[in-house]
Amino acid sequence: MDVSEKIVSDFVANDVSFITTVPCKQLGDVIEAVEAHPAIYHIPANKEDEGMGLCAGAFMGGKRPAIIMQNTAIGVTINTLVTLTQFYRMPLPMLISYRGELGEPVACQVEMAVHTKALLAQLNIPTYHFHKEEDVEEFDKILKYTFTCNKPVAILTDASFWKGY
Amino acid sequence: MIRSELLRELAPVIADHLVVCNIGLPSQEMHMIDDRETNFYMLGTMGLASSIGLGLALAQDKKVVVIDGDGSVLTNLGTLPTIANNVTDNYVLLIVDNGSYGSTGDQPTYAGMKTSLTEVARACGCENVVECSGADTPAAVEAALAGDKMTIIVSKVESGNVKVPVITRDPVNIRDRFMDAVKA
Ligand SMILES: [Mg+2]
């Protein structure tokens, strides 16, 4: 099973049935797999904070949500993470493409990469970093942990994990 | 008619439905006028009322009314294409359009100038968009709820505020109480 299939099958096994996405080249395959799965309602968002609002509503409606996004958008989601997801104590797995790491062809991406972990740490968001293919084995446990603690939890996935673009 | 007068007349129409109240005065006014467990009050996060309501409507079958504002929709304008392309007929978005940022002291918004949110919503692909006066709004919301069609209502009212207390209920309590009402 490739990592995209494994991620989507773990989402489904953990009852995650509402996923919002903003695309990234690295996330192309996993977004396609999300779109294709009949057990998941896939709702592309125009901006990541909008997506987090959709997820908050879906959670209150009884569904387990998740967001798939790029690390460059963390800045625009800070207010939403703090005043909605965390303030109201809602779970939110955030599968994030960690652009600007080893293998990055676009210099500008590195500018956000150097702030990514510091911002997540400042927000007290539990953060996991998938660098090697086998790191995906933890994904199931991370989802269980997220819905146990009712917090946003970040999974950073870098270019080495995705084996390039 | 100003927003708080409209909400007083609207309260009995939406009492039996799930209501997502926008940040600031819309939440505070609904809380003061008719606090119910079926109301979700936003205490922060300007702009996301319509998104929270859409996620809620897509996730379950009960009808959802979102009380939003012109300033907040302008803040999150990307919400309108998402709404248009994810039709769910249990969703009514009421945009109380007073042409101003009411909660911050009535500074003018572009919706009170050249920009028509009604036309923006239509251009984004929303199929049932109704523009009406504040006085006609309760009937328009009632018709939308009865019609079983996703509807956007742009309610043209005057800007102006009344004094209301802030909401001191804990956010986790607001959310938990609301989720019990969703499940009931
Ligand atoms: Mg306004």
Q: Could you list the pLDDT tens digit for every one of the 184 residues in chain B?
A: 999 999 999 999 999 999 999 999 999 999 999 999 999 999 999 999 999 999 999 999 999 999 999 999 999 999 999 999 999 999 999 999 999 999 899 999 999 999 999 999 999 999 999 999 999 999 999 999 999 999 999 999 999 999 999 999 999 999 999 999 999 9
| CB of A63 less than 8 A from some CB of B | yes
| CB of A57 less than 8 A from some CB of B | yes
Give the whole-angstrom CA distance, residue B179 versus residue B62. 12
Give the whole-angstrom CA distance, residue A58 versus residue B27. 20
Chain B contacts of A51, Cβ < 8 Å? 51
**Tell me, which fold does domain A3-158 have in CATH?**
Rossmann fold (3.40.50)
Side chain identity, residue A61: G
Enclosing H/E stretch for A64: strand A64-70
Q: Which domain holds residue B122?
A: 3-183
Strand order in the sheet with A127-130: A41-44, A16-21, A64-70, A92-97, A152-157, A127-130
| CB of A54 less than 8 A from some CB of B | yes
pLDDT of B138-160, one tens digit each? 999 999 999 999 999 999 999 99
Chain B contacts of A41, Cβ < 8 Å? 58
Chain A interface disruption, residue of B51, B80, B169, B172, most A CBs within 10 A: B51
Domains in chain B: how many in total? 1
Q: Where along chain A do its domains lie?
A: 3-158
Q: Is A127 exposed, middle or buried (0-12, 13-18, 19+ CB in 10 A)?
A: middle
User: Which structure tokens are listed for B11?
Assistant: 């309260």
| CB of A80 less than 8 A from some CB of B | yes
Q: Is the pLDDT of residue A1 over 90?
A: no
Pick from B52, B58, B174: CB nearest A53: B52
Kindly report the backbone phi and psi dihedral angles of residue B151, in degrees, each rounded to the nearest multiple of 5, phi listed first: -135, 140
pLDDT of A32-51, one tens digit each? 999 999 999 999 999 999 99
How many A/B residue pairs have CB atoms within 8 Å?
Answer: 115
CATH assignment at residue B175: 3.40.50.970
